[in-house]
Structure 1
Amino acid sequence: MQAIGMHKVLHKTRQFGELVMFSHTLFSLPFAVISMVWAAGGFPSWHVMLWGLIALVAARNGANAFNRLADRRFDAANPRTAHRHLPRRLLGTREVVIFVVVNYAVFIFAAAMLNPLCFALSPVAIFLITTYSYTKRFTWLSHLYLGFVIASAPIGAWFAVTGAFAFTPFVLGTVVMLWIAGFDVIYGTQDIEFDRSHGLWSIPSYFGLKTGLLMAKAMHLVMMLLLVMLYFIQDLGWLYLTGLGIAVILLMTEHGIIRPANTRVMKMASYHLNQIISMVILFFTLMDFFLIH
């Protein structure tokens, strides 16, 4: 009986992990770590690292689960997403609501454990990450709003270390915003006809495939220019620039393999390559900071 109970717990945990796409934490986590290191002038205290990461993971889990709740009707109607947990009733609406509430509560508690600024801003963060789920219903700027929400990770990480505002985390946050928005546009090219027929807004459905992809390229170009700007702001070295060079090659590959009709290729372009990009930037940035400075 005990073994059966443990199996059920592990199965349910795996389902919630799939629901919130836990592996996609690699989009925000590396930039949050970079922000912490830059803010602290090295690795911050274990207290800050622990509660900062708990806050990031809890906020992200709650936001993604809420997004699945908000979009469950559209997910059920879209053949590409009909396999998700709520349309298939692998998870119930009530238990997902509880999951969201618990994660938001953990986020607020973790913010309070960091410093007064983080605690004071935690309701603002919850408002932003929750309202994103509805932006696609009325504006094609939803991609940028998503990027703006995820940009709170490096900005919040800086606040967690210093408890104060600064210029650098907002530049890094803008990098994340444009990067996320760019590959979310790429991801959105798979649903152009569905979005148009169901009254949903996106850059590809509003501007068309060709213009949408050009806008995604422009976002990623500005993103890389801002990363170069951070090279001067933070007085970084050649290892950082090496990482940026690799990231540029990966971004060019990403834009070169886009095939909206091929789900497997689109997962590679929208997700897998970007996970590699974030880890490359993290690795070379930390190597540069600790080995050269």
Structure 2
Amino acid sequence: MDRPVASSLPDAVRGHWADRWAPVRLRPYLRLARIERPIGWWLLLLPCWWSAALAAIAAGQPWPNPVHCVLFLIGAVAMRGAGCTYNDIVDRDLDTRVERTRDRPLPSGQVSLKGALAFLALQGLVGLAVLLQFNAFAIATGFASLGVVALYPFMKRFFWMPQIVLGLAFAWGALMGWAAAFGSLSPAAVALYLGSIAWVVGYDTIYALQDIEDDEIAGIKSSARFFGERVRLGVAACYVLTVLFMAAAFILADAGPVAFAGLALFALHLAWQVARIDRTDGAGALRLFRSNRDAGLILFAAMALESFVRAL
């Protein structure tokens, strides 16, 4: 007897419009792009917005470039979907061996490999159309990320900290906002990028706690397995590096007290996450992981307010 396929995946937002209102034939493709799990594109978008806000502070502009912010939003949704589709194509055999992923569209047979490849190309074209709206340096910077993105799905097979490679890819937006504003990079943007990488490693270690038992059975490596009983200490170390590098970025961009107050609130939120980590509580890990959207928005709001205050 065939195994029944879940109508939505365990970590999806319950009652999401993609599962309720989208045409039935499109739903597997929307799930392939993780549309019903918007936290992913939020976490890809936030470093872009931070970078745009940091550039506004450095340039003395009253706010982050709104056109750039909208383009980053569209690009984040498209490229997160493309990245997830590519990841599922590569991992389609591994996903059948993990409880949380075996009902994904590819391993469950809801989408064919040919259909997934076509959908990947479509999303990539949307991302390309967005990227081409920026200056030549930003376009080149965006293309430079593709190598890291292509490498990530393979890392979990032999590298104990694949979250570092994920961080290199997911934090790339911390370079893009600055590149789009100035047509170059600077130490401030690089510091923001390094802080964003550490943030990604921290929150994705929390996320990986959901799969720690299945990953061990399937032989999948992750930072959650690497840290083991010291996972709280590992995440704390990542978050300390996050705050230190972001403080360095603020100093290099000559940010003022409003931005640093926002960074303090951001740091408190990260500390709250660390205090709540329970490696036996998968549902709690998912809630903590999702809360990083709120932490990131707090920091972005403070940075945007800093740029406005400085321009008065």
| TM-score exceeds 0.5 | yes
1:42-98: CA deviations, max 9, x gaps? 346665445444444332221122112222222221123223333333333322221
Given the alignment, which residue of 49, 74, 78 partners 1:33? 49
Preserved contact between residue 259 and residue 302 of structure 2 (Cα < 8 Å): yes
Q: Does 1:254 align with 2:273?
A: yes
| Greater shift in the superposed pair: 279-288 or 241-250 | 241-250
Given the alignment, which residue of 240, 252, 255 partners 1:221? 240
Aligned twin of 1:282? 300
Question: In 2, distance between residues paired with 1:292 and 1:9?
Answer: 51
Question: In 1, distance between residues paired with 2:287 and 2:251?
Answer: 32
* Cα deviation, residue 150, structure 1: 1.1
Given the alignment, which residue of 238, 256, 261 partners 1:242? 261
Q: What amino acid is aligned across from residue 205 of structure 1 in structure 2?
A: R
SS at match of 2:107: coil
Q: What amino acid is aligned across from residue 292 of structure 2 in structure 1?
A: N
* Cα deviation, residue 174, structure 1: 0.9
Which runs of 5 or more structure 1 residues have no equivalent in the other structure?
Answer: none
Q: Does 1:18 align with 2:38?
A: no
- Matched residues, percent identical? 21
User: For residues 105-254 of structure 1, what are the structure 2 equivalents within 5 Å?
Assistant: 105-207=125-227, 209-254=228-273
User: For residues 261-280 of structure 1, what are the structure 2 equivalents within 5 Å?
Assistant: 261-270=280-289, 272-280=290-298
Shift in CA distance, 31/256, structure 1 to aligned 2, threshold 3 Å: same
Preserved contact between residue 142 and residue 176 of structure 2 (Cα < 8 Å): no
SS at match of 1:247: helix
Question: In 2, distance between residues paired with 1:206 and 1:216?
Answer: 12
Question: In 1, distance between residues paired with 2:67 and 2:33?
Answer: 25
SS at match of 1:90: coil
Question: In 2, distance between residues paired with 1:44 and 1:274?
Answer: 21
TM-score, normalization by structure 1 = 0.86
What RMSD in Å do the two structures reach over aligned CA positions? 2.6
1:14-42: CA deviations, max 9, x gaps? 43453683332221323212312332533
1:81-129: CA deviations, max 9, x gaps? 2233333333333222212112223323332332222333444322211
SS at match of 2:82: helix
More helix as a share of residues: 1
Q: What amino acid is aligned across from residue 257 of structure 2 in structure 1?
A: W
Question: In 2, distance between residues paired with 1:45 and 1:240?
Answer: 17
Q: What amino acid is aligned across from residue 166 of structure 2 in structure 1?
A: L
Question: In 1, distance between residues paired with 2:282 and 2:134?
Answer: 41
Q: What amino acid is aligned across from residue 211 of structure 2 in structure 1?
A: D
SS at match of 1:18: coil
Shift in CA distance, 157/20, structure 1 to aligned 2, threshold 3 Å: farther
Preserved contact between residue 147 and residue 177 of structure 1 (Cα < 8 Å): yes
Q: Does 1:70 align with 2:90?
A: yes
Question: In 2, distance between residues paired with 1:122 and 1:233?
Answer: 23
Q: Which has the higher contact order (CA 8 A, sep 6+)?
A: 2
Q: What amino acid is aligned across from residue 41 of structure 2 in structure 1?
A: T
Preserved contact between residue 33 and residue 82 of structure 2 (Cα < 8 Å): no
Question: In 1, distance between residues paired with 2:82 and 2:36?
Answer: 8
Question: In 2, distance between residues paired with 1:75 and 1:187?
Answer: 16
Which runs of 5 or more structure 2 residues have no equivalent in the other structure?
Answer: 1-20
Paired residues in the alignment total 287
* Cα deviation, residue 179, structure 1: 0.3
Q: What amino acid is aligned across from residue 195 of structure 1 in structure 2?
A: D
Q: What amino acid is aligned across from residue 189 of structure 1 in structure 2?
A: L
Preserved contact between residue 40 and residue 80 of structure 2 (Cα < 8 Å): no
Preserved contact between residue 247 and residue 277 of structure 1 (Cα < 8 Å): yes
Question: In 2, distance between residues paired with 1:104 and 1:147?
Answer: 20
| Greater shift in the superposed pair: 99-108 or 189-198 | 189-198
TM-score, normalization by structure 2 = 0.81
Shift in CA distance, 79/281, structure 1 to aligned 2, threshold 3 Å: same
User: For residues 22-101 of structure 1, what are the structure 2 equivalents within 5 Å?
Assistant: 22-40=38-56, 41=59, 42=61, 43=63, 48-101=68-121
Shift in CA distance, 222/163, structure 1 to aligned 2, threshold 3 Å: same
| Greater shift in the superposed pair: 26-35 or 37-46 | 37-46
Preserved contact between residue 53 and residue 303 of structure 2 (Cα < 8 Å): no
